[in-house]
Structure 1
Amino acid sequence: MDVMMSEEVKMEKRKSMEEEKLETVDLSGLSLDSLPDPSINVASIFKLDLSNNNLVSIPESLTARLLNVVIFDVHSNQLKSLPNSIGCLSKLKVLNISGNMIEALPKTIENCRALEELNANFNELTKLPDTIGFELIHLQKLSVNSNKLAFLPYSTSHMIALRVLDARLNCLRALPDGLENLINLQSLNVSQNFQYFESLPYSVGLLISLVELDASYNHIKSLPESIGCLKKLQKLSVEGNPLVSPPMEIVEQSLEAVKEYLSDRMNGKESSPSKKKKSWVGKFVKCGTFNGKMVNNSGVRNEDGGFLMSDYRSIDGLASPRYMSMFSPRRLFSPKTYFAR
């Protein structure tokens, strides 16, 4: 065991020494339209920063010779595509191509099998390579927000090392099948896909490492009951959705209330909405919001303009999930500072 450990330490030291011999080349923010001829051996470059320029292309010949590059940053340029020779970067771990006009990633990017972080935010992507997830199995962070993606490929669910998936501000219709394979996923953001995104799959509740889930500002009407099983979940954002299940007064209480509600539904323990309605309807009566005088079955107004009800069932319509957020006890009986956010 000790022999094995010492060998690993030696390998790490050797790797560190090799990296120290490599160079960091920073050509960022120079308003470059094209790249100058390099004055060094490009094979010795460890990190290449070409960000914040006016580059419209990267030469195939240059990329093919970046044999030892680990970090490649070309964000905030005018790129419409990446060179196919990007697939030659077998040691590449971090690729930042955000803030360009790239419409598609070359299939050769799948050859960058050491890749751990891919930032492709703020581009014009309409799709990702179909098999990208089968090859980039070491990817830990995939950021593709602010693009035009309608779907993520099925292979995405095979990125077993993935910890962060950010796909907000796209046109997503759905998430891929097999999402439960992402056993290391801690943060999932599919917010602001608006009317396109109507439901979360049941498999979201099987993401055993999930800590943060943001599905806000979509068109989701019900959350999958499996979310009640997410023991590590600490943050759930679902505002801006026409939620019916769970109703908004549950969502506004706490994350634990949401998880309990969904867990009860999954276990067939339906909550008793009538009891909850009656408890806060009593507050309406007590506060004089409604006049509770007994009359016939049809509600009528008394001489003072108060509403007369035969029983509480006459406002069941108001207590339906559609109106719950408007009439929730928390909104009606909490201090005004509740609305100052």
Structure 2
Amino acid sequence: MVDCELGIMKVDFSKPKRKRFGRSNSQGGEIRMQEVVDFSGMSLDTLPLTTNINFGLVYKLDISNNNLQVIPESLTARLLNIEVLDVHSNQLKTLPNSIGCLSKLKTLNISGNQLQSLPITIENCRALEDINANFNQLTKLPDTIGFELVNLKKLSINSNKLTFLPSSTSHLTNLRHLDARLNHLRSLPDDLENLINLEILNISQNFQYLDALPYSLGVLISLVELDISYNKISILPDSMGCLKSLRKLNVEGNPLVCPPPEVVELGLDKVKQYLSEKMNGAHQHSSKKTSWFGKLKKYGTFNSSRMTQVEREGYLMPGYRTIDGLPSLRSMDMGMFSPLRIFSPKNYFTR
């Protein structure tokens, strides 16, 4: 089997064959020998570490779709050059502390396990760009994760039991995609203004838990898609009128009173206009809003002028309606609970 992206043949250890390939570094210089090792879908309870694999040469390790309950500390400590680690769909309850040794790791897929927390040593994986921790039992993330994983671009933590995101999350300045739907979130960090590259934010389906959004949401200057559907939000912060890049908004299933339903039904541009005018007329009456008004002007997000044609065509979920408590099963797309949908590359917004 050939990895199309890398042009490297995967090694299937159900057969006594293995092949190495040379791979140049990012500068096109020295060629290093590397391997892609694939143990996926072999119904393994333990890993056959007695094989003659030089784990120091492994670029990508796929041990997904097995029955593994433990990843040996000794294994991860030997994966000195690994960049992609895929352990999804096992029975892992913990990750080894030695994962912190993976200084070159860029992509980590730990979805579909039974993890309740992540080892704090994961903060040492500073090259990480993509974490997929969907469908676990996470109740918290490491407190300082945002201070350390400075290269993280995508964080997928949907279908867990998170009640909050650590305040350090707001320091993930390179983050572009945050998916925290289907949790128990009660709030978001107050200071989101450092997420200057965030383009997609999905905090939908936290149901009766999430009832408010922080005012700093209006400073997310790169935000293109926002899904807050099926929560308990009654008021959108008027700072959202300053989201100049916003093209898609889903508010379905919230008991919104501000903006009122008649404004919501007119579409995204009218919602943004309503909130912008509300902020423009009321900011001097509140010291908190005055402070944020200055920040919004600093970031160039406040603009009460006419909306562009693109903004007028922004998408707002049709058929808006308020509900009390949980939505009925008939009103929900049950396909969103399918692991196939979550693990699919097309599991998020389509452009």
Normalised by the length of structure 2, the TM-score is 0.72
1:26 aligned to which of 24, 35, 38: 38
1:267 aligned to which of 276, 280, 295: 280
Q: Does 1:35 align with 2:50?
A: no
Q: Which amino acid aligns with 1:227?
A: M
2:27 aligned to which of 9, 12, 25: 12
1:311-341 CA-to-partner distances (Å, cap 9, x unmatched) read xxxxxxxxxxxxx969xxxxxxxxxxxxxxx
Separation in 2, partners of 1:89, 1:55: 20
Separation in 1, partners of 2:224, 2:185: 22
Count of aligned pairs between the two proteins: 261
TM-superposed CA distance for 1:169, in Å, is 0.4
Q: Which amino acid aligns with 1:14?
A: G
Match of 1:208 in 2: 221
Match of 2:251 in 1: 238
Match of 1:89 in 2: 102
Match of 1:294 in 2: none
C-alpha RMSD over aligned residues: 1.6
Q: Is the 8 A contact 2:190 2:215 kept in 1?
A: no
Normalised by the length of structure 1, the TM-score is 0.74
Q: Which amino acid aligns with 1:201?
A: P
Greater relative CO (CA pairs within 8 A, separation 6+): 2
SS of the residue aligned with 1:40?
coil
Match of 1:288 in 2: none
2:132 aligned to which of 97, 101, 119: 119
Q: Does 1:56 align with 2:69?
A: yes
Separation in 1, partners of 2:258, 2:25: 56
TM-superposed CA distance for 1:268, in Å, is 1.4
- Segments of 5+ residues of structure 1 without an aligned counterpart are 1-8, 270-323, 327-341
Separation in 2, partners of 1:230, 1:93: 30
Q: Which amino acid aligns with 1:212?
A: E
Q: Which amino acid aligns with 2:207?
A: F
Separation in 1, partners of 2:192, 2:171: 8
Identity of matched residues, %: 68
TM-superposed CA distance for 1:10, in Å, is 8.7
Separation in 1, partners of 2:99, 2:92: 14
Question: Cα 1:84–1:235, aligned 2, differ >3 Å: closer, same or farther?
Answer: same
Q: Is the 8 A contact 1:249 1:325 kept in 2?
A: no
Q: Is the 8 A contact 1:137 1:161 kept in 2?
A: yes
Match of 1:221 in 2: 234
Q: Is the 8 A contact 2:252 2:321 kept in 1?
A: no
1:138 aligned to which of 151, 163, 167: 151
Separation in 1, partners of 2:138, 2:162: 6
- Aligned pairs for 1:147-296 (under 5 A) are 147-268=160-281
Q: Is the 8 A contact 1:185 1:209 kept in 2?
A: yes
Separation in 2, partners of 1:142, 1:237: 20
- Segments of 5+ residues of structure 2 without an aligned counterpart are 1-23, 283-319, 323-351
Q: Which amino acid aligns with 1:106?
A: P
TM-superposed CA distance for 1:54, in Å, is 0.5
SS of the residue aligned with 2:85?
strand
Runs of 4+ in 1 over 6 A off after TM superposition: none
Separation in 2, partners of 1:127, 1:51: 23
SS of the residue aligned with 1:227?
helix
Q: Which amino acid aligns with 1:165?
A: L
